[in-house]
Structure 1
């Protein structure tokens, strides 16, 4: 982290110095920054800073809790808790975020390893989709963002549950193969050490309750996201031993996640503030109140912003006076399930055809579900 700060800081300072030298030697006047005092710019700065400050505590709480789970909760604990019955397993996975509130960055590598040990694909998909939404931190952040409308927080949890359950049933019914990429899928068929037989990828050995090869915690993986430039940091904490080692491991993981999520929050807050400031209110209302267009706009908006689920509610709340409640719900459920960064992480772990099919199911089920929720619960 220090190396990155020094590298970028040096480059920025060098660029500013060159610009200053050019202005001095060319005897040009400094540009007029009077526009920073205009009403529009004041509105932009107020909205931008307010989103950042409101979301900051929940992002910090989320990354600390995620780091603690990465360091102290074993994968075997997750495997033991999941029921063997498919429907009960899907139901458990839908609410597992209440127990294991991992961020999407940590969720996919963990689930990928569990699948190599035999976790059924339909349970793995549900874990990935619903884990970043149905957990205490996200509920608290959504409730605080919509303090005057707590029904949005309840509806977000309910719709995420319904969407994940339906998609889990779809995967269970129609997909029987191994969706892991060939290089990863081949690992599940290799001979395991000690007395553990290889676990098939279809989940049979998982359902039989086969034991894993000894204690292995969630942090004992190389949580490197080299497949996504924005996630190039490494969360490898396999060698942290002892009390102080684990403490530094938690702090290291939390700091990596905080800076990683922070840049998305900054980007999302800036884009939101620009839209709210520069786009005429009449245009926003015409888009936001469209029966279908508002939902599609919010899905695209959520996909591009790639916000963390602990902070996206504060971005959504800034549109509460211009966009319909159903479209806000679409943004809050669709974004954590499918955005740019999660799409790239899915493509790194799963076959392209499976990821495209899963994406299509997410788009269709979230869109239909949010339209139904809007018609049933938010139409006066």
Structure 2
């Protein structure tokens, strides 16, 4: 008999109950308490936006006809990329929501380059994120401007790079049940269940990895890295990947890293919404491993270079 997700969950719950006394002693250690706090905080930040993204993705899949996208975006792919990137301004969400939305856009016939530009831009240039950046850096409005412009440039550049070098076979969207013959309500809930299972599971894996990194990396290391301007940029870019902070909250974390330069903190804010552990995991679940292992490193390099350049000019 094949076990389903409900049976697996039931088995895990039984095992947790049987091992509760051992787990209680393990969780009493300071390291495990820190791990649990970070793990839960990442999930609490991300889940509402993941749900929002999944619901919007289902709406796109079920209620928006394919012909809409032909009218909404320029027909030429090179022009569709910046248009899709700018569309991220109107979506108040984070990277967890943009991944399933981008997958749904590709399913509805949007060129992958435009969908990927939207995926990268939406979490970084929407009004909520930019407003949070202004609040986190009082008296330094140029930080929000630099973040918005640099993030949009990276998103458009990666979309154009995909047009130039990307291959269709690198994107393998998980099979979704045929929704065309079902009622609108049934198709909507089927799409929601499908996307939450694929994206949600990888979100948990990414949150666990981020929590582990938070416990393993000593805080004293950051102090020693801040003195060198080049190393500090690389260090904060790497830290953005490892911490996996939601884009609505990362500006306040960047502001607290006052020992680092504004340029290195700008790179932190540009990299984080585009490349982090939970996002890489979710991209693997939605687009496939071959896509994630190529797209994430290229995006990281582009975000570091563009963020550094804009920091040098504007900050």
Compute the TM-score of the two structures, normalised by the length of structure 1: 0.60
Match of 2:196 among 224, 229, 243: 224
Residues of 1 paired with 2:107 and 2:296: CA distance? 22
2:165 is matched with: 174
- Report the alpha carbon displacement of residue 309 of structure 1 after superposing the two structures with TM: 0.7
- Report the alpha carbon displacement of residue 114 of structure 1 after superposing the two structures with TM: 2.7
Match of 1:15 among 21, 25, 32: 21
Indicate if the aligned counterparts of 1:134 and 1:157 stay in contact, CA closer than 8 A: yes
Match of 1:140 among 114, 131, 134: 131
1:312 is matched with: 250
1:292 is matched with: 230
RMSD: 4.4
1:163 matched to 2:154? The reply is yes
Indicate if the aligned counterparts of 1:224 and 1:231 stay in contact, CA closer than 8 A: no
Indicate if the aligned counterparts of 1:303 and 1:340 stay in contact, CA closer than 8 A: yes
Match of 2:74 among 73, 79, 83: 83
Alpha-carbon displacement from aligned partner over 1:205-240 (angstroms, at most 9, x marks no partner): xxxxxxxx98999776223244664646xxxxxxxx
- Report the alpha carbon displacement of residue 192 of structure 1 after superposing the two structures with TM: 6.6
Cα 1:71–1:136 shift into 2, 3 Å: farther
2:94 is matched with: 103
1:150 matched to 2:141? The reply is yes
May I ask how many residue pairs the two structures share in their alignment?
284
- Report the alpha carbon displacement of residue 359 of structure 1 after superposing the two structures with TM: 1.7
Residues of 2 paired with 1:153 and 1:81: CA distance? 28
Q: List alignment gaps of at least 5 residues for structure 2.
A: 1-8
Cα 1:279–1:359 shift into 2, 3 Å: closer
- The structure whose Rg is larger is 1
Indicate if the aligned counterparts of 2:50 and 2:96 stay in contact, CA closer than 8 A: no
- Residue 168 of structure 2 aligns to a residue in which SS? coil
Alpha-carbon displacement from aligned partner over 1:226-281 (angstroms, at most 9, x marks no partner): 4664646xxxxxxxxxxxxxxxxxxxxxxxxxxx99x79x959x949x98xx745x
Cα 1:329–1:80 shift into 2, 3 Å: same
1:332 matched to 2:269? The reply is yes
- Report the alpha carbon displacement of residue 106 of structure 1 after superposing the two structures with TM: 2.8
Cα 1:144–1:173 shift into 2, 3 Å: same
Residues of 2 paired with 1:297 and 1:162: CA distance? 22
Which region of structure 1 is more displaced relative to structure 2, 79-88 or 114-123? 79-88
Which region of structure 1 is more displaced relative to structure 2, 121-130 or 175-184? 175-184
1:369 matched to 2:306? The reply is yes
Q: List alignment gaps of at least 5 residues for structure 1.
A: 20-30, 34-43, 195-212, 233-259
Residues of 2 paired with 1:18 and 1:326: CA distance? 43
Match of 1:323 among 260, 268, 272: 260
2:5 is matched with: none
Alpha-carbon displacement from aligned partner over 1:99-150 (angstroms, at most 9, x marks no partner): 2334322322232233233221111111111111111111111111112322
1:343 is matched with: 280
Q: How does 1:265-284 map to 2 (within 5 A)?
A: 271=214, 279-280=219-220, 284=222
- Report the alpha carbon displacement of residue 94 of structure 1 after superposing the two structures with TM: 1.1
Indicate if the aligned counterparts of 1:138 and 1:309 stay in contact, CA closer than 8 A: yes
1:124 matched to 2:115? The reply is yes
- Report the alpha carbon displacement of residue 70 of structure 1 after superposing the two structures with TM: 6.1
Compute the TM-score of the two structures, normalised by the length of structure 2: 0.71
Which region of structure 1 is more displaced relative to structure 2, 343-352 or 147-156? 343-352
Alpha-carbon displacement from aligned partner over 1:272-302 (angstroms, at most 9, x marks no partner): 9x98xx745xx64541242321122112211
Residues of 1 paired with 2:75 and 2:186: CA distance? 21
1:115 is matched with: 106
